[in-house]
Structure 1
Amino acid sequence: MLKNIMKAGVLALVTIIAAGCASSEGDSKLTRDVYLRGVFTWWDADPQFQLQPVEGKENVWSATSPVDEPLIADGQPYEWKFGDAAWQCGTNFGFKSGIADIKLGERREMNKCAAFDNFKFTPEVDGVYRFYLDWTGELPVTYVEKVEM
Structure 2
Amino acid sequence: MNTIRRKSAIIIFAIYKIALLSNSEIEDILFSDYLDEETGEPIVYEDIYDSDIQDFLLNFHVDVVFYGISNEYLFNFLEKCFNKKFIIIGDDPELNKCPCCSYLTLPERGQYDVCPICQWEDDGRSEDSIETYSTVNHSSLKDYRLLKLGKLSKEDIFYRKG
TM-score above 0.5: no
TM-score, structure 2 as length reference: 0.23
Structure richer in helix, relative to its length: 2
Q: Which has the larger radius of gyration?
A: 1
Structure richer in strand, relative to its length: 1
TM-score, structure 1 as length reference: 0.24
